[in-house]
Amino acid sequence: MERLFQASEPRCNFAPLGLLIPWDNRRGKKTMSHYTKARAAGYYNSLLTGDEADFLKLVKKYSIHPADDAGSKGTDVATVMAGPTSARSGLQSQAGKFYVRLAQMNPADKVAYVRLTLAPRGTNTNEGGDTLEVATSTVPLAGYDPVYYLPWDISGASIRMTIPPQGAGNNDPNVFMTAAINGCSIYFQGTSNTPTVYHSGGTTNFAKEQINEAVGFWDALMDEYQDYDQQNNINLGALAGSSVNKTHYITDPSTQKTTVNAFTQTTMYDYSTKRALKYKSKLKKQNALGKLTVRELFPWACVLGRRDANGDWTFYLQENVSIQYSQVERSLPNLFAGKKILRTVSRPMMTWEVFPVGRGHYHSPSALPSIL
């Protein structure tokens, strides 16, 4: 997953008491949020690997940020040429020719071991404090649990994994995750008990405002993969009608905002999502007269899966947002000389079921959470 933004001001390496223990104005006392409550070792992993209620509790309360890979980035099965001279129209972006990998995860590389830890506020992480960062290992470690893990390749690839039926192997976890996404597409194929999942992302060489073309690029690459399978007598089942692309979680064309550079006369394009803009408006109202100034919101997402007792998988899209805000801090001996600190925290906005039912069911927090 690429970096969402670059901070223009330094972030401090500590979290002040006012952030750690929020103030409840209704009761006139300080309260503890689920972000600052002390948790036993393994608490977040226990929710991830627990029953459905535990799993949904996790995705409703915490933004989950899986790492780009767990060591392997798949084994190439083919290489596809893209660019103006590509044989497939959807791959004909403007720049010179380049190549994109078609890859798949070998059986020995499908399972990784993960540990979820909550990033503290004030840490200089891209997504911000309160994010559940996912550490990975290729071998069992204390405090790590096995999951099916599908990577992302920044150089450009469509990487797939077919999950075997329940009980088909000795190491057979009931949780799936793939690298966090901020522009990638995720596709599903086959049935809910033996699904194949594709993580497609990297450069397309389309301009930022060419959103539909960029989405179509990965759709065209999926056509290449289906052609490869047909030529090699590989049958993984029907490609699902439901998929995830950037317009669903980070770049809604209807949110386009343009600015013109006065010196170069070049037009710059910015995008978000309707949900993120609504959330930004809410946070600005909540903090209009407070000590915090909401600067910007950066949407991103992750895709997770869980298998039930019947051996059927459900996959979810978790829409997240990183909230960049500033706060003036004062300390003795001069309480009048404040220092502006820039911070970032992440919050989950909505979690959708995306396979096998498509975007027909959602699991949302009871209300969009506040910064504190």
* Residue pLDDT, tens place only, 211-262: 999 999 999 999 999 999 999 999 999 999 899 999 999 999 999 999 888 8
Cis peptide before 348 (omega within 30 of 0): no
Mean pLDDT of the chain: 87
Quick check: is 68 in a domain? yes
CB 6 within 8 A of CB 125: no
Quick check: is 285 in a domain? no
Report whether pLDDT(34) > 90: no
pLDDT score of 263: 84
Which residues are 158's β-sheet partners? 102, 200
Residue 273 phi/psi, 5-degree rounding, is -130, 160
Quick check: is 256 in a domain? no
Picking from 203, 214, 205, 296, the residue whose alpha carbon sits closest to that of residue 253 is 214
**Sign of torsion over alpha carbons 209, 215, 216, 217:** positive
pLDDT score of 281: 94
Query: What confidence tier does 183 reach under pLDDT thresholds 50, 70, 90?
Result: very high
Number of domains in the chain: 1
CA distance 208 to 214: 9
Quick check: is 287 in a domain? no
Q: DSSP for 179-240, please give it.
A: --BSS-EEEEEE-SSSEEEEEEES-----TT-HHHHHHHHHHHHHHHHHHHHHTT----PEE
Q: Which residue has the higher pLDDT, 171 or 108?
A: 108
Quick check: is 137 in a domain? yes
Report whether pLDDT(284) > 60: yes
Quick check: is 12 in a domain? no
pLDDT score of 63: 96
pLDDT tens for 114-161 read: 999 999 987 556 899 999 999 999 999 999 999 999 999 999 999 999
- Encoded amino acid at 10, one letter: P
pLDDT score of 332: 66
* Mean local confidence (pLDDT), 16-43: 56
Query: What does the chain come to in residues?
Result: 372
Quick check: is 82 in a domain? yes
Quick check: is 345 in a domain? yes
pLDDT score of 250: 97
CA distance 227 to 231: 6
Picking from 213, 161, 220, 222, the residue whose alpha carbon sits closest to that of residue 183 is 213
Query: What confidence tier does 338 reach under pLDDT thresholds 50, 70, 90?
Result: low
The range of the structural domain enclosing residue 93 comes to 17-248+292-363
Alpha helices per DSSP H over the chain? 17-20, 43-48, 52-61, 211-231, 274-286
CA distance 76 to 70: 17
